Amino acid sequence: MAPPQELDAVKQNGSTNGTSHDNKVCTADKLKTASAKQPQVHVASVANGSQGPVKILPNVLHNIGKTPLIRLNRIPQSFGIECEVLAKCELFAPGGSHKDRIAVRMIEEAEADGRLKPGYTVIEPTSGNTGISVAMVCAVKGYKCILVMPEKMSAEKHWTMNRLGATVVRCPNNIVHTTVADKIHRETPNSIILDQYGNEANPRVHYEETTEEILEQCDGKLDMIVIGVGTGGAVTGIGRKIKEKCPSCPVIGIDPVGSTMALPESLNSGPGFFEVEGIGHTWLPDCLDRSVIDKWIKVSDKDTFNMARRIISEEGLLVGGSCGTAVVGAIQAIKEAGLGKGQRCVIIFPDSVRNYMTKFLSDQWMLERAFLPDSEVSLGYSWWNKTVAELKLESPLTVVPDLTVGNAVKLMKEKKQNQVAVVSSQGSIQGVLSLEHLLKQLISLNITSSTKVESVVNGQFKRITLFDTLGKLTYILQGTPFALVVKEEKNGNVLVSEKLLGIATQMDLATFIL
């Protein structure tokens, strides 16, 4: 552990001036030091005595914490909101997210209690941000690192973790990545799992540090705090401290549509797929204490990503997608609570756009998912609004999950296809085995000809229906060589089942048009 004089570099004065506050307010204590029983590792806040801030930091870990609180202006004004809206910008952390705080805390606590020793391997299931932060800490400290991440997470996260020296294992979205991490842990000698979902260091670091920073920056004047809910660490730690110091301040939890963490249960439309990363689950992490959340608000992917794009273009903050989720939820919560002049709402901005450059920043990505309206390009093509049904596709080539990869490749070669749909004996679509995906998996998985298809199936494929337009299919096929044509059965917004009808390829579309 570094000597005290090297800890907590770069003091920042985060108080906010010029805001009246007529309501009863709480008074923030001075920042508490961490418990003597816990290692004190990374808060970048303590000045170097009377000599001013430390000018040279011993390593990047000493720049974690003390992120700025920035006022949002144009977006709140556009909704007629008169209260002050502030963003706690964790996107400025060295690893790009608030997960830097928990990564260094979990690792240094594991070192302190003897669970993590030189030469050990750190294993962690992650949706990306924690993985990047863990890989960064391991890079500085010299530990080997294995990270397990679902396929739906961005390629940028994978690339960043890999460049930081981590081994990245991707698993299908229908497999809980924590179970994969547990299996790797059992098979890897001298390894530990940090377990962000159950490690008390996760909420504790937000209780001891993040919330105290916010209260100090706000001079204790706070009327609402809004937090997207993922592992539950941030909302639990911040919520517990807010309940102690600002009991009249409501804690608002934001949950994406398709997640099932919100209360009351009637808010949840049932488990479903959602694109936003880092928040939302269809199970409850051990770190999550839902009792600290006064109100839950659900937000759709479409609203999420359109708002994230607005934050970038109107506020100049290069935020990640879940920041859009939080702002949409905050606007609703502010209006429902009737916050007005002289009152203040703080929103947690957990990460930056760096991990999503090929996702919601891309018009094509947004158009594929109908998150943006068609552009005027549709007016110039007679085929644009024709339906996928007019392609008259042949019956799809399928295999069962327990077929071997070797036999599947032989079948694709025989049928002159680059991909095959994986369908269970009951008819449910498990995913796709494509040559492109298989070659990518060869690098990170030990695949042989006898490997079962179910072990390497790609569950992250593009779907389209017979009634979708060829214009929509065009957008999809600009980014992938094929899309599965499915018949969906829904109960409200919840997908109950889907039947595979065909596979639409770039060649199918080109042949029809030309």
Any idea which residues carry the catalytic annotation?
Answer: 99
Q: Maximum distance among all alpha carbons in the chain?
A: 78
Structure tokens at 433: 């085995």
Structure tokens at 265: 């249960």
CA distances from 462 to 15, 421, 446, 481 (A): 47, 12, 26, 10
Pairwise CA distance, residues 376 & 178, whole Å: 45
H/E element holding 484? strand 482-491
For residue 135, count other CB atoms closer than 10 A to its CB.
Answer: 28
Please state whether the peptide bond connecting residue 264 to the residue before it is cis, i.e. omega within 30 degrees of 0.
yes
Name the residue among 255, 372, 360 with its Cα closest to residue 311. 360
Pairwise CA distance, residues 293 & 239, whole Å: 7
Q: What are phi and psi of 467, to 5 degrees?
A: -95, -5
Pairwise CA distance, residues 105 & 128, whole Å: 17
Name the residue among 439, 405, 419 with its Cα closest to residue 482. 419
Q: Which residues contact 19 (CB under 8 A, 6 or more apart)?
A: 84, 221, 342, 344
For residue 467, count other CB atoms closer than 10 A to its CB.
Answer: 9
Pairwise CA distance, residues 477 & 462, whole Å: 9
Number of helices (H), then strands (E), in the chain: 15, 16
Q: Which residues contact 198 (CB under 8 A, 6 or more apart)?
A: 285, 286, 287
- Please say whether the beta carbons of 246 and 220 come within 8 A: yes
What does 428-464 look like in DSSP terms, one character per residue? -EEEEEEHHHHHHHHHHS---TTSBGGGT-B----EE
- Please say whether the beta carbons of 213 and 29 come within 8 A: no
Question: Is 285 in a helix, a strand, or coil?
Answer: coil
| Residue recorded with tokens 């552990």 | 1
Pairing of strands 144-150, 167-171: parallel
- Please say whether the beta carbons of 32 and 210 come within 8 A: no
Looking from the CA of 372 toward its CB, the CA atoms found within 13 Å total: 19
User: Counting every residue, how long is the chain?
Assistant: 514
CA-based torsion, 182, 184, 188, 190: positive or negative: negative
CA-based torsion, 443, 446, 451, 457: positive or negative: negative
